[in-house]
Structures are given as C-alpha cells and as structure tokens.
Chains A and B, each alone.
Chain A
Amino acid sequence: GQQLNQSPQSMFIQEGEDVSMNCTSSSIFNTWLWYKQDPGEGPVLLIALYKAGELTSNGRLTAQFGITRKDSFLNISASIPSDVGIYFCAGQLDSNYQLIWGAGTKLIIKP
C-alpha cells in the first residue's frame, strides 16, 4: 500500500529549542495536513496545506508543502512544555484522493 515516511520517530529536546519533523513519500499529494495528539485525546488539526510550495504558520508552528509535492515539513520554534505529544502528518494522494497517514513523531521535552 501507499506509505508516508515520517521522521524522526521521536525527539528529546530541551525547552526553548526549535523542532523540525518531516514526511516524505514516493507518491504525489495534493493536500498535506498536520495534526497533534495529546495523551488520551483525539488528534487536533494544526495546519492544512493545499498548494505546492505553500508555507503556512500557526503561532510558533510553520509547515511547508514541498515543491515536488512528495513531502512536507513542520517546524516548531522555541518549544514549550505543552508542545509535548505526538505529531502526525497526513497527505491526500493526487491519484485517488485517498488520505495516507504517517506513523507519528513523539515529542518529549527534557526537564
């Protein structure tokens, strides 16, 4: 089946550090969605991207739709404790509109 490679799988960072994660695939996507899931909760939409090259911000979060339409990245600047959680990417395939999910990036902030 179609696959999205999300990396890293987990990140251990210090409060205040910037964070970067990405999703890549061999397939072409027409939409990228980034979600965050807190423990015991459902995923919450952070950023939606609809055009190749699009760069969108939501507070300290910035995401980009790769120009090749095969990848996307999410950056978090100046991380704070409430940023901990699991971040998921999801891309909609251009070929059949199916939504494909990454396996998640677990963000842990070191005390």
Chain B
Amino acid sequence: AQSVAQPEDQVNVAEGNPLTVKCTYSVSGNPYLFWYVQYPNRGLQFLLKYITGDNLVKGSYGFEAEFNKSQTSFHLKKPSALVSDSALYFCAVRGGPSDTNAGKSTFGDGTTLTVKP
C-alpha cells in the first residue's frame, strides 16, 4: 500500500522568509512524487514532480522540492514566500508502471500555508 503523511496541518511564515512544507511517503518500488496547490473554491493545480534524476526538483512559481530517499521525504520549499502563496498544499505519491497500484495517486491530508505581510 502507498501512503503520504503531511505532519503539519498549518504553516505560518512572514513574507520574504523561506518556507518549508513537509511530506513523507511510503510506497513499494520507485516513488513518483508530486506537489499540488489548491486555492479556495478551485481544483488542485500541479506544482512539481519527482520521477527520477536530480534530487532537487524545480517547479512553478519559484517552488522547489528535495527528494530524500533515505528519509523517504519530499519537502516543498521556497526561498522567499509571497502573500499570494497562501493556499492549501498537497503532497501525493503515485504507483509506477510496474507497481500493483500503477497509476493510482494517493494524497496527503494537506497543509494550509499562510504567508503574512
């Protein structure tokens, strides 16, 4: 079975400060990891993904994430937060092509990011 944990329900940062939203995962085989963002009354939007290659992945809106295999983590980061980054963030893991859960995406519970001016 695959699972994702986002240990923080809420993260608060001041504008201009760096931010980190944490995610750990459990999956058999190679992990396919994703971050999505959801604004109020909207669907989820893709931010970035790790499939293979460099452990540091860069995505939309200046976000990046670091894949750490030994710690089974995929934390989302941004060097300088903006008020407009305030939203709900989801980490997700997806089964690879040879996995019994091939194609199936499992999401964490989400972390609400609030950036204060």
Say whether A associates with B.
no
